[in-house]
Amino acid sequence: TSEVLRQAQKMEAVGQLTGGIAHDFNNMLSVIIGSLDLLGRRLPDGEARLRRYAENAMEGARRAATLTHRLLAFSRQQPLNPQAVDLNKLVSGMSELMRRTLSGNIRLETVLGGGLWSCSVDANQLENVIVNLAVNARDAMPDGGRLTIETQNAHLDDRYAAADIGIVPGQYVLVAVTDTGTGMSPEVMAKAFDPFFTTKEIGKGTGLGLSQVYGFVKQSEGHVKIYSEPGRGTSVKIYLPRLVGEHDVTDQIAAALPELTD
Ligand code: ADP
């Protein structure tokens, strides 16, 4: 658990720092983007080249704004808004978004578990997390491959907890994102969750994707684990606590089933 603590402290320190910087940059970028927009509109029709300069500047400013938004999301300026989530529905609803995220040479496979429990999480943030994992998977498969998204009910028992740091035994809903890409060396895997750790070239990676995933999962009182083998691929498994109570739709359906089959 000292490893979990160390990671949490690091996340908090970096989060506060980046949050402050990102906030100020965001304000400056709003001024730049607003002014460029005005400039573009006021340019006379004949000025094609000037218009292109303005568009290039705008494009750069927009990319910078995307980065500051990611930094702000990472530093957790916005609180989580947990609700009862049907993970199968959430994953099915993402197929269009996935198609746009992945390149044509990557085959997407979804394996949805039957009788899946609900979980209590922020649905938007969970979508972001799955997109982050899909982007990483895509980047790890430049020559194409297969991306699998799998959901499943999972019991983590004491034995599992004993073998793994920070695991709380109990019932979870598992979502696993698996690729057939490059995989990670043990050195990369050890640092993968660290904020700003990236092996990607400048402009392509921020090193915030997995630390965002880690932050979300910890705030949701879940667990995340990476399995990876160089040359074979990577699987990121996220365990989210099962939602129990009157809002658990799948339980209600299961309870009603014997009557239906009678
Ligand atoms: P980024 O994607 O911006 O580099 P991340 O925090 O998402 O930041 O990932 C950190 C690093 O972990 C990546 O640069 C890459 O080296 C490694 N990594 C993450 N996901 C995968 C994956 N699916 N396959 C191989 N390596 C990965």
193-211: per-residue pLDDT in tens? 988 899 998 777 888 889 8
Q: How many A from CA of 232 to the centre of ligand 1?
A: 15
ipTM: 0.98
pLDDT digits (tens, 9 = 90+) for 120-156: 999 998 998 999 999 999 999 999 999 999 999 999 8
What is residue 173's predicted lDDT score, i.e. its pLDDT? 96
- Quick check: 198 and 259 in contact, CB under 8 A? no
Ligand 1 pocket residue status of 119, Cβ below 6 Å: no
Average pLDDT of span 55-62: 91
Say how far apart CA 155 and CA 153 lie, in whole Å: 7
What is residue 9's predicted lDDT score, i.e. its pLDDT? 75
Ligand 1 pocket residue status of 137, Cβ below 6 Å: yes
Ligand 1 pocket residue status of 22, Cβ below 6 Å: no
pLDDT digits (tens, 9 = 90+) for 211-220: 889 888 888 8
Q: How many A from CA of 198 to the centre of ligand 1?
A: 6
Q: How many A from CA of 54 to the centre of ligand 1?
A: 33
Average pLDDT of span 216-235: 93
Ligand 1 pocket residue status of 120, Cβ below 6 Å: no
Residue 250 clears pLDDT 60, i.e. is over it: no
- The first and second tokens of residue 204, run together, are 């392509």
Average pLDDT of span 12-39: 83
Ligand 1 pocket residue status of 15, Cβ below 6 Å: no
Say how far apart CA 169 and CA 130 lie, in whole Å: 24
Ligand 1 pocket residue status of 184, Cβ below 6 Å: yes
User: Please, which pLDDT band fits residue 258 given cuts at 50, 70 and 90?
Assistant: low
* Phi and psi, residue 111, nearest 5°: -120, 100
User: Please, which pLDDT band fits residue 32 given cuts at 50, 70 and 90?
Assistant: very high
Residue 77 clears pLDDT 90, i.e. is over it: no
